[in-house]
Amino acid sequence: MDHPILNITPSPSDQAAATLIVSGEIDLNSVGALSVAVQTALAEQPGRLTLDLGGVTFCDSTGLGTFVVLSRKAASAQTVLVLANIDGYLRRTIDITGLDSILTIH
């Protein structure tokens, strides 16, 4: 069975802010790639790192947990991790699980 690909594209950024545009499915098979992309972006020490999730078509509990872990790693690097362009099922899932009180969402 084919697994939908997770695409992560860095957007032009500066030291103050960086953005990763994420599309596809975030699950057990793809969270590693997301983690690597975020760690790479954090190495540049931006004050703010935005994950533009407008193109995400699916996110399982592994993905949700990864958002929490990455948010903590960002905080340790003195960076704010922001989840942006979240709507539909993903927004409802984050709200229902209470993660909206832990994660920074715009």
How many folded domains does the chain comprise? 1
The pLDDT tens digits for 41-95 are: 999 999 999 999 999 999 999 999 999 999 999 999 999 999 999 988 999 999 9
Q: E strands of the chain, at which residues?
A: 7-11, 17-26, 48-59, 80-84, 104-105
Domain residues for the domain of 35 are 7-105
The candidate with the shortest Cα–Cα distance to 84, out of 104, 70, 101, 58, is 104
Give domain status of residue 1, yes or no: no
Model confidence at 1, in pLDDT bands (50, 70, 90)? very low
Give domain status of residue 85, yes or no: yes
Give domain status of residue 2, yes or no: no
Handedness of CA 21, 43, 36, 103 (dihedral sign): negative
Give domain status of residue 63, yes or no: yes
Phi-psi region of 88 (alpha: psi -120 to 50; beta: other; left: phi over 0): left
**Which amino acid would we find at residue 11?**
S
CATH of the domain at 34: 3.30.750.24
pLDDT of the residue at 4: 66
Residue 3 clears pLDDT 80, i.e. is over it: no
